[in-house]
Structure 1
Amino acid sequence: MRICKRLLSVLMACSFISTSAALSASDVFAENNISCNIYDTTIDSESKEAVSSLSQEALIDDNVGAAELTETPYNVFDIYNAHQTYVKLHSGDKSLMYKKAEGIDVSYAQGQIDWKAVKDSGVDFAIIRAGFGNADKYPYQVDTWFKYNIEEAQKVGMDVGVYWYSYATDAQGAYDEAVSCYNVIKDYDLQYPVYFDIEDPSQKHLSTYETSVLIETFCSEIRSRGYYAGLYSYANLLTTKVYKEVLDKYDIWVAHYGVNVPSYSKEYGMWQYSSTGSISGIDHAVDLDHCYINYPYIISPDTYEPDGTETDSVADLRPVNIDKGVASGVDVSVWQGKIDWEKMKASGIDYAMIRAGYGNLSTQTDKYFKANVEGAEKAGMDFGAYWYSYASSPEDAVLEAKACLEVIKGHKFAYPIYYCIEDQCFASMSSKEISDIIKAFCSELEKNGYYVGVKSYANFLNTRVDDGVFADYDVWVSHYGVAKPDFSKNYNMWQYTNDGTINGLNGSFNLDYAYLNFPEIMKNNHLNGF
């Protein structure tokens, strides 16, 4: 998690307003010199709503009655870290943390359920609706079948969690819903989280800021009362209307039907993949869920009994959700030999990264650079270039930059020029030495009107390059056999395999995804020869 604890504690303070000294979220943000926009992860193409200009006083009533604000705000990370330490002490390792389980979620809509038949059919768990809205004020808003469902499910040994359907449009409403939910579920032990279900049409007009305040208010209150809190909604809302820092704090249950993988790129523990399931013991259609996190173990590690299906990694359990970016590419050099660029273009490849050369002499041009550039140009394929480094010092890197400039002049590159730092010659250098070499090369090309970046494998970038480099230049990261490269900083190109195949062409290829519309950037800003 990239944001510091203090910053997140400030966000959490939005939900903990004292009756004796009411403090608005606006005041809390202002007091810490933090813009309310800092957490905004709204995707403009999917949600045009701006962060609300309403003061938090309009969202939170002075008489919420939540836990009093202390001088040091309540910090969930201390609790989370303590819990993780507890889990490790009781498990010795992470071998029980993940497990594939199949479940259902039910409400009054399913009527009377034969829970023994459900259990016998192979269902592992059930998430049961406890109620909706402010049930303390309106008792009829407790789900009419909740008591029956949870007690009968537990009688047959079914693991259960609950969800509370929200109609809240302000933090007061979300707090009231959390208290109502607690009062309904407090006499029951749960093996799965308590989920805040936010999906009602009445909430669609809320901004990212307002939506996040609702979630934070409900979930933090439920958590403070000793329950494991989670968030449920459909993929689009989770992607466009919730701050990343809120998503990172609570377990996610994502709904997306009719797809192989939910269109939600962040971490999630459960996926509601169908609303039309048929299960023995239930007369009506029922929602079906895949779960990937071993909640019964995490919630009650002392009493959990392993069954041998647990694992220490979620990678093999959850369907892979790969972000393929905006363009698919290939990178080539002399090692690929002569390439049929017309077939390359016809195969669906959008762009090519072509090795221009290596070392500090312009005579060290890649043997196939000229042929590859001409072939790509003739086929109408966009391309960029990279220079393989052997530099031993910043001065040597400047010589490499000048050699690169000599080789690439006269061509238009719709994609960046990357400095490839992968050779064994860098193994004995310090991070500062390597970073100074990168800066020397990149700044020289930048002065000459080129969009530049650094290319290397993920572990090298993580451990051997100073963060300042990533703030100044683009990154092309190499990491194979994963759903996402293990690199936490920003990158705009990913080399995801060195063993790819391309229709109509023999041999294996390095394949890439690009995450920016580089051709538009180069043309609009008159870079790289444009």
Structure 2
Amino acid sequence: MRLKRFLNGKMAKSVMAVTLAGVITAACVAVGSDSINSNGTDINAQNIQTVTAGADSYVADETSQMTGSDAKGAFTTEDLGISASDYTDDEQIAKAADTIANADAQNIVNTQFELIPVEKLAITADTSSENEVMGGRKEYIDNGGAKQSAAVKFAETPMYVYGVDVSKWQGDINWAAAKASGISFAMIKCAGRSTGDGSLYIDPYFVQNIQAAQSVGIQCGVYFFSQATNIVEAYEEACLTVQLCQQYNITYPVAFDWESASDYRVALVPQNQLTMNMIAATFCNTVASYGYTPMVYACKNDLYNTFEPASLSASYKIWMANYYNDYYYTSNIYMFERPLPATSFPYQMWQFGVTNAIPGFNGYVDMDLGFFYYMPTVAATSFQLTVTQKEISTTFGSPVNLLDGVIAVSSAGIDATPFVTYLISDVNGQLVTEDYAYANVGIYAVTYTLTDVDGTTASEQALLYVYPPTGA
């Protein structure tokens, strides 16, 4: 069912949250396997991690340079609360970038590679041409509040969630309305590199957007609009990104948003796929060394033809842009009418379209489907599955909730009860359905199982007694 059916009339905004929440709930069952993409080619997506290779559907990249004309976007060292150091030696920077590019992506968390201070990065004003303007602009503000508590810890949990990615082009956003409509996360542009002269700039709406979004409980990630043509430029971009992020509790990934077009500077310096992977690795490894989850954003075509996707996706999360025509500058929102785009590599976030159907936005905004969410954790604890009712009694034809009294906690400290599964077997050890048990008097074994995030499993058993009906 497409959202635009609900957007005609006064009920549009009131049903939005129910619609998105209901769609995500329904999507937790198997996604359909057959659909036709915009070119009329069958594609079959098998799961949210790795889907079989298929023909490309319509790809629409975010090809406009996200820059603007407000010099207030140029942060200073004082704004960022960092100390300066001497980075005049270009050879030193090149060596540092090479070390980071070749680092083991799996073993660099909290390494904290040295950063180039922001005042050494030659930040310029955020400028763009008139035909690139898609929204208003405003001086950035820093009200000193709206930051998430650093004491709150989060753990990644697989699930489908809707999100948006924003920059200054969305202007002032009513984040409370967006949250109420069912938006769970936001990828917020912090900065970028010019598609022309390659200068660095900061999005003037970054502070406003991240503070306002976090203040209403929307989880935030960050992206940098990259035009890096070598590992040194990727290192510079990551250094700026980390210093902008350090004031905030970033829960979603920090993304290397690399984009190409015929008139972009990156088109003048084409690189082979392995070199592009090294450029992405430089950015990703730098942000990962500060504890952020790295991610690479690109359109499907670039992921296949510019990067080497198999090794890239083995090291970092992938955020893929790949649109069906129905969701490209329309009032439609992807609601699992079709399978996810087919690829030969895993991806964890899908930018599926541009819509004007989300409350809180004055015009169009990019829409994303995330395949994960970050749940607040309780105090650290051990993996636990406890069945408090070892004997459960009912009568013929009277179902009971077999999860009553079941306590499950993951090793991350998250309530894992919704992820507990159970099987029922008769006295002969034969598996039976729950309906069968309630329709046949007898004693049954109920085996509960919980699988932790690292694959560890735990099992517990209880007995289910189904008695004859009263008076029989």
How would you bin the TM-score normalised by the shorter chain?
A: 0.3 to 0.5
Larger radius of gyration between Structure 1 and Structure 2: 1
Question: Greater relative contact order: 1 or 2 (C-alpha under 8 angstroms, separation 6 or more)?
Answer: 2
Give the structure with the higher percent helix: 1
Give the structure with the higher percent strand: 2
